[in-house]
Every structure is written in C-alpha cells, then in structure tokens.
C-alpha cells in the first residue's frame, strides 16, 4: 500500500501538483490545504490576510478528483472563508481531503476538530480552527486492517513552539485516533503538524506506540525552495512497530508545493 501525505498549498503550483498526483499511484492520499469554491467559475482566486497574499485554485478538490477517477474522497473543511476574484469577494471552503483507492475497503472513519470549531462565514481568528481525519481500511492484498490519520496542525503567528492550544490539539488528536483505531492493529499518522521535533505532539503520539519516520531516518527538511523561512520541519509520518515499512521518502523532486510530499510504502 502506498500512502502519500502532502500540504497542497491551495494548488499554487497547480500543474506540477496535478501531474504528480495523477501519476504517483497512491492508494491513500492525505492532503492538507485543499480548496473548494462551488459558486465561482474562475480557475484562480486570491487569499488575502493583511500583507499575506496567495493565489489559490478555486476548485482544487474537483481538479484532483478528475485525475484520480479510481479513488473515493472524503473532504473535511475547517471553514468557509473569503477569497477574492479580482475586486469581488467569494466564499470558499478550506480543509483536509483523503483519497482512497476503491480496491481498498473503508471499514470505519472519524473526523472532528482538534482545535476550535467550524466557521461558516470566515476563516476565524488566529490560531485558526483545525480538524483531523482518521480512516480505518482493510488492505485486501496484505489481508489486514490499517488505520491512517491525518492532521493539519494549527498555525500560531508566534511560531511553532508548544503552547496550551497545541497541547490540547495533541490530546484531541489522540482521542480521535482511539475512537477509530483498534489497539494491536497497524496505525499511520501523518500531515503538516506545524510543530518542530521535540514537540509535545510526539509525546502524545508516542503513547500510542508511534515513531516518526522523518526525524528517525535522518531527514532534516520537509520544505521546498518555495519556503524561504527558517525552521525546515513541518510534515511528519509516524507508524507503529507492526507497520512493515518497505519504503519511505521525503520527496525533494518534483516541487509541487512549499511542502515536500511524504511517501510511505507498507507491506
């Protein structure tokens, strides 16, 4: 089974992203920062938050669905906020998307907020609401179940250090995972955590028997050349000891976002 985790960056690097996702042959694709704007016809919109201005694909979710016709998708928005089409304001949903190849059985899933709650008319105040999605699958080829959970961790304007909100987020994520995961079965947790190595997040997930593959295998950068700031860790992939890791990579090329894809193949 091939699992990919990636912060899609709202599709800013649209064509390289679509080309990559359409050819990588992922069985499970865990995406963060996915947009859906059902009332607009423009391909591109603009996110504006003070001096932070970012091009966004209007309907990235639908574009990815089009290149993954053999997959089902679970979309979990955190908010319906405001993007701009020139001088016009338009509503747009923003959140997680989990794509699962139809040859894999979905036997359970749970989604909930791990920080804050849904905003229907804005993206909300910083640090903005965040959710997580856990999905229990049966891998027919390997003949066993596996639970995969993904998270887009909260972004704090003060940085990536631990805060009470991040401690609460970690506890909420563990609670969500426990709701769907059966102890003794294989477990994978991934996503853009927005924390540094050593965060309380890893203590909490360690209580489930999880070990991070990014840091334990010597990777020091999960960002691409499109990210100019210091602190090159953001994305992580953790597994329990019973997950047979056939391959793991923090993919440097092609660059499809300001985050690198995390690629895991398990037996």
pLDDT tens readout for residues 65-88: 999 999 999 999 999 999 999 999
- Indicate if the pLDDT at residue 256 is higher than 90: yes
pLDDT for residue 32: 98
- Domains of the chain by residue range: 2-266
Q: What is the pLDDT of residue 10?
A: 98
179 vs 7: CA distance, rounded Å:
25
pTM for the full predicted model: 0.97
How confident is the model over 32-40, as a mean pLDDT? 95
Work out the average pLDDT over 190-194: 98
With bands split at pLDDT 50, 70 and 90, how would you rate the model's confidence at 144? very high
In 3D space, the residue among 1, 5, 37 whose CA is nearest the CA of residue 257 turns out to be: 5
- pLDDT band of residue 62 (cuts 50, 70, 90) is very high
User: pLDDT band for position 231 (50/70/90)?
Assistant: confident
Q: Which strands form 186-192's sheet, in the order they lie side by side?
A: 105-115, 130-139, 144-152, 186-192, 235-239, 211-212
What are the tens digits of pLDDT across the range 122-140? 999 999 999 999 999 999 9
Give yes or no for a contact between 114 and 95, defined as CB atoms under 8 angstroms apart.
no
Regarding the domain delimited by 2-266, which CATH topology (the fold level of the hierarchy) does it fall under?
Deoxyribonuclease I; Chain A (3.60.10)
The pLDDT score that the predictor gives to residue 230 is 86
* Model pLDDT for residues 11-32, shown as the tens digit of each residue: 999 999 999 999 999 999 999 9
Average pLDDT over the chain, rounded to an integer: 96
Three-state SS letters, 113-130:
EEECCCECCCCCCCCCCE
- Give the per-residue pLDDT at 50: 83
* Percent of all residues in the chain with a pLDDT value above 70, rounded to a whole number: 100
Look at residue 127 in the predicted model and tell me its pLDDT. Answer: 94
In this predicted structure, the answer to whether residue 161 has a pLDDT above a threshold of 90 is yes
């Amino acid at each position: 089974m091939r699992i990919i985790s990636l912060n899609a960056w709202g599709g800013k690097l649209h064509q390289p992203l679509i080309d990559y996702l359409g050819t990588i042959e992922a069985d499970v694709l865990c995406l963060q920062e996915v947009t859906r704007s059902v009332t607009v016809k423009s391909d591109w919109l603009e996110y504006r938050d003070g001096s932070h201005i970012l091009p966004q694909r209007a309907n990235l979710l639908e574009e990815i669905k089009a290149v993954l016709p053999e997959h089902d998708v679970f979309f979990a928005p955190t908010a319906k906020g405001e993007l701009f089409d020139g001088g016009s304001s338009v509503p747009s949903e923003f959140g997680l998307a989990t794509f699962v190849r139809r040859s894999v059985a979905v036997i359970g899933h749970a989604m909930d907020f791990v920080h804050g709650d849904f905003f229907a008319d804005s993206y909300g105040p910083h640090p903005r609401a965040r959710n997580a999605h856990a999905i229990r699958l049966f891998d027919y080829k390997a003949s066993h179940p596996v639970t995969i959970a993904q998270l887009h961790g909260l972004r704090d304007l003060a940085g990536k250090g631990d805060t009470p909100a991040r401690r609460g987020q970690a506890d909420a994520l563990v609670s969500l995972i426990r709701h769907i995961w059966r102890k003794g079965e294989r477990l994978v947790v991934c996503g853009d955590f927005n924390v540094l190595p050593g965060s309380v997040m890893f203590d909490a997930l360690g209580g489930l028997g999880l070990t991070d593959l990014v840091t334990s295998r010597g990777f020091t950068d999960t960002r691409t050349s499109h990210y100019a700031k210091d602190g090159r860790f953001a994305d992580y992939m953790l597994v329990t000891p019973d997950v047979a890791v056939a391959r793991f990579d923090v993919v440097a090329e092609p660059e499809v976002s300001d985050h690198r894809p995390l690629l895991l193949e398990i037996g």
